[in-house]
Amino acid sequence: MKLYNKINGEELKKQLLESKEKRVTLSFYQYANIENPKKFRDDLYIMLNKEGVLGRIYVAAEGINGQLSVPEKNFEPFKKALYSIDFLNGIRLNIAIEDDGKSFFKLKIKVRNKIVADGLDDASFDVTKRGKHLKAEAFNELTDNPETIVVDMRNHYESEVGYFENAIRPDVETFREALPLVEEMLEDKKDKPIVMYCTGGIRCEKASAYYLHKGFKEVYMVDGGIIDYAREVNEKGLKNKYIGKNFVFDDRMGERISDEVVAKCHQCGTACDTHINCANDACHILFIQCENCAEKYDKCCSKKCSDFIKLPEEEQQMLKLTTEFNGTKFGKGRYKAHHQDDELEK
């Protein structure tokens, strides 16, 4: 039996957008020893598909990492089913802040070598000796200390739209790149309190163990990441030290944590923090675009892509073989679309 969704993705998206069913978006992760990831993956697919769950899950011998959309009416049965798995019993579910539930359109569960690509040799250090978790109030108190160093363990396109006050934000495309770079940046600060954060906490679990292994004395991480911090701040009426949006890895691409807009449209430079993928599927690069530029460029990253999608389909297919776009050799480096189009329009 093939345990995956066979319906066309666009059709699934259309069905969900038209549906009035209320859904909940959430994420979770757990490091654990999974002896047979393939069997675990198949059993999990059957369990979650039964409850109408959509989303993306990575399973590896080291654990599980998932972002899901669950029908509101099935939330308790879903939770009961998930908690029936021994190592997931009682696991924290990070519920999305801004959410209409239309975040995922199919269920995909994949077996990977790791649940987060970190490039580390786990056998070289004790991954169970991790940093201390900080709830929102404790985080606020510790970061009031001017000696405390706050480090964003996310990629540049995530931190570009939002971050904690005074945080160090490495200019990296991947978590794998961030680990050695942060170590180098803080080499002479190993005796100071270091507080790390990421979206939901999973990257900091591994990073904190790695930095303790590397000789850092006082390592902390935001419990549940930005998602849980924002929820706790709202529930308890605490001061919010997060500025802007939290980038999320689903169709929403972001949830607002504070009213400030700290990023700029990559095409015109106006204040904007809306991420979009270029409408030219042959490009598909991730960038920030305001409403005016979305109209001007047909939701594309450049005039080149805008002109391309207006061509007949047959001509597009032919040109794809010989034409390079901004996202052809896909990467998530800092993209300055407006510079290229200024040249094109001269």
Report d(CA 12, CA 280) in Å as an integer: 21
Structure tokens at 226: 């930005």
Neighbours of 93 (CB within 10 A): 19
> How many residues are listed for the chain in this entry?
346
Instruction: Name 59's bridge partners.
Output: 64, 111
DSSP for 93-124 reads -EE-SS--STT-SSEEEEE-S-SS-----GGG
Helices (H), 109-224: 136-143, 156-159, 175-185, 202-213
In degrees, rounded to 5, the angle at the alpha carbon of residue 24 between the alpha carbons of residues 112 and 71 is 90
Residues carrying an active site annotation: 198
Report d(CA 29, CA 91) in Å as an integer: 8
Report d(CA 69, CA 56) in Å as an integer: 9
| Helix, strand, coil share of the chain (percent; to 5) | 35, 20, 45
